[in-house]
Amino acid sequence: MRDSTETGSIDTLMDAIGKRARAAARRLALAPTDTKNAALLAMADALVAATDTILAENAADLDRAAEAGMAASFVDRLTLTPDRINAMAEGLRAIAALPDPVGATVAAWDRPNGLAIERVRTPLGVIGVIYESRPNVTADAGALCLKSGNAVILRGGSDSVRSSAAIHATMIAGLTLAGLPEDAIQIVPSTDRAAVGAMLRGLDGAIDVIVPRGGRSLVGRVQDEARVPVFAHLEGLCHVYVDRAANLDMARDIVVNSKMRRTGICGSAETLLIDRAVADTHLLPLMEALREAGCEIRATDEVRQRYPTAEPASDADFVTEYLDAIISVALVDGVAGAIDHIESHSSHHTEAIVTDDAAMAETFFAGIDSAILLHNASTQFADGGEFGMGAEIGIATGKMHARGPVGVEQLTSFNYRVRGNGQTRP
């Protein structure tokens, strides 16, 4: 425990936020689907109606970012436009249109003694979301938590504090209109970093799970320090393996798309593995296609003997998430070699195999323990929307509870509901 007055007052503030969230969570767990959806639709309308206010607050955040000389990519993530506000509103409407996971029966069976057992989805309780510059997370995460019956405590970045507050006000308007408690979606009103520390300690049991949204340093800090479960991925070190039985045209399309469609997302490929058996036929066309698409190639000596203009790859290249137009390339001995390489280098996020041999794909699927495995498809499909889950609050690489895209279903727990007619246990 720290004991400065400053931190003490932050702890007091955060504990009060936690208690209010816990109380709101009990009410949300009982909220009918229609009420939650009405709130989400009202939020969407309020968001659009508040466009001018939100843009004005965002302009103030952008001014500070400009004064601080922030990088262009940072400024881009922070910038709101009427189109981006409309997209946020559409996101809220899409979440309203999703099936309500709460109360859904996941499994049901009867016992020989007549007991009828159901496994039913229930909210997790209170979700803590810690994010950086993107103010739209305020709306997305708030809405996903509401739909799944969870209260949420949002802690946005200090750089986007005014934008996030303006968006948050429209969420509160929606909650109020629908008769739901304002405390269902709280935003931490302090930019003190001690607030994050308090959330990571779980606010004395008030927070059930933490979701960090941001760069590697934020996620790493959360994973290291959190005393509550975390849904996150530290990095997406994704692989594409081109097998001896790969169709070359398909391989070319999938490799280029996996790497180059968007290089800054977690599902973009960082390493290309090619079956040594088809190095003679497949290596050069794949290298040329990547280079034509503007990709820098860092390769092993063996690859460079065949394609000398590639840069040499160090061991570190094969465990680096470039998030840029750079790819590391190596040859492996068939699917077994690919599995060995991936299992020892991957971040267990997403891996793809290109092959016309279905048995090789099954071997690849069985041998690799990553959240998402693809056969003959681009790693860039690693996304809750592409999976048909609607929006996602993030992608998890842990193996506990949630794995892969985290949508509304993954934000629920479950319990057992047993119906009898007087059964006692012998």
Residues at the site binding its own copies, with contacts judged by CB under 8 A: 26, 29-30, 103, 109, 111, 115, 117, 120, 122, 124-125, 208-209, 229, 247, 250, 253-254, 256-258, 261, 343, 361, 365-367, 369-378, 380-381, 386-388, 399-401, 403-404, 413-425
Give the three-state DSSP class for 234: coil
Residue number with CB closer to its own copies (176 or 376): 376
Amino acid (one-letter) located at 205: G
Query: At closest approach, how far in Å is the CB of 296 from its own copies?
Result: 21
- 139 closest CA partner among 76, 131, 26: 131
How many angstroms separate the Cα of 117 from the Cα of each of 112, 346, 423? 11, 40, 13
Query: At closest approach, how far in Å is the CB of 94 from its own copies?
Result: 15
Residue number with CB closer to its own copies (5 or 415): 415
Q: How many residues does the chain have?
A: 426
Q: Which residues share a beta bridge with 405?
A: 395
Residue number with CB closer to its own copies (308 or 422): 422
Residue number with CB closer to its own copies (165 or 337): 337
Tell me the DSSP string of 210-221: EEEES-HHHHHH
Query: At closest approach, how far in Å is the CB of 151 from its own copies?
Result: 13
144: which 2 tokens? Answer: 């996903």
- 257 closest CA partner among 313, 215, 285, 295: 295
Give the three-state DSSP class for 267: coil
Q: How many CB atoms lie within 10 A of CB 412?
A: 22
Query: At closest approach, how far in Å is the CB of 232 from its own copies?
Result: 14
Q: What is the dihedral of CA 130, 188, 229, 102, to 10 degrees?
A: -100
CA angle 78, 169, 40 (to 5 degrees): 95
Query: At closest approach, how far in Å is the CB of 338 from its own copies?
Result: 15
Give the three-state DSSP class for 119: strand
Query: At closest approach, how far in Å is the CB of 426 from its own copies?
Result: 8
Residue number with CB closer to its own copies (307 or 381): 381
**How many alpha carbons lie under 13 Å from residue 147 in its C-beta half-sphere?**
31
Query: At closest approach, how far in Å is the CB of 332 from its own copies?
Result: 17
Residue number with CB closer to its own copies (125 or 142): 125
- Residue 216 contacts residue 323 (beta carbons within 8 Å): no
For 122-278, where are the alpha helices, taking DSSP H only? 137-147, 161-177, 193-200, 216-225, 248-260
Query: At closest approach, how far in Å is the CB of 208 from its own copies?
Result: 6
The H or E element containing residue 296 is: strand 296-299
Query: At closest approach, how far in Å is the CB of 334 from its own copies?
Result: 16
Residue number with CB closer to its own copies (216 or 227): 227
Residue number with CB closer to its own copies (157 or 202): 202
Residue number with CB closer to its own copies (169 or 250): 250
Give the β-pairing of 105-110 and 116-123.
antiparallel
Give the three-state DSSP class for 274: strand
